[in-house]
Amino acid sequence: MVLFTVVQPVTADTLNSNGAKIFESNCAGCHINGGNIIRRGKNLKLKVLRKNNMDSVDAISVIVANGKNNMSAYQDRLTVEEIQAVSTYVLQQAENNWK
């Protein structure tokens, strides 16, 4: 008997959909619509991300994984793929002005 796993290809739509779900369940409580209810100046708007050199998926992923100041670390709660997906979603939303 041969066992195998069918792996669905990861598309941009799937990544964005997963990122949106992860954001809603883990991030939106503090960062609704890209804002920040704890520290206004540390929001997820593109202007602020650029100002803080956080305007890349890699930079966002580091903060999501490790946290910083009031931001909790998520590396023990999310997989590497989930961190990548939510980081991609955040950057895409910032580039679209959170619409």
Q: Where are the domains of the chain?
A: 12-95
pLDDT surpassing 80 at residue 13 = no
pLDDT of residue 6: 46
Query: What pLDDT digit, counting tens, does each position of 67-87 carry?
Result: 999 999 999 999 999 999 999
What amino acid occupies position 70? N
Higher-pLDDT residue of 3 and 22 is: 22
- What's the start-to-end Cα distance of the chain, in Å? 50
Residue 57 and residue 84 in contact, taking contact as beta carbons nearer than 8 Å: yes
The encoded tokens of residue 3 equal 């066992």
The CATH number assigned to the domain with range 12-95 reads: 1.10.760.10
Residue 94 and residue 46 in contact, taking contact as beta carbons nearer than 8 Å: yes
